[in-house]
Amino acid sequence: MRREFNVLALIKGVERYVYVYDDDSQSELIDAFRDHAADPRLSFTWFDASVLTDKAREQARGAPAVPRSRPRV
């Protein structure tokens, strides 16, 4: 059986936050967002945590994260 992963990324200046997770790990992912937002050493904010939580929930529902463009020929 093939295992599928989801990816969420946030770029803030020189910092990169990249999260790779499977559907069964969504609650741990959201916990990680909270931990990062609470860490004063990181630029990751509570707003960032909220936005990424919404995006993770969209991915779980199967909603496209970004609009698909038409293929160029």
Output the CA torsion 48→43→4→69 (10° steps). Answer: 60
Per the confidence metrics, is the pTM higher than 0.85?
A: no
pLDDT tens digits for range 38-59:
999 999 999 999 999 999 999 8
**Token pair for 1:** 């059986």
Is the distance from CB of 48 to CB of 12 less than 8 angstroms? yes
19-38 pLDDT per residue, tens: 999 989 999 999 999 999 99
Closest CA relative to residue 7, chosen from 17, 15, 50, 28: 17
* Nearest to 37, CA basis, from 13, 3, 10: 10
pLDDT confidence band for 11 (50 / 70 / 90): very high
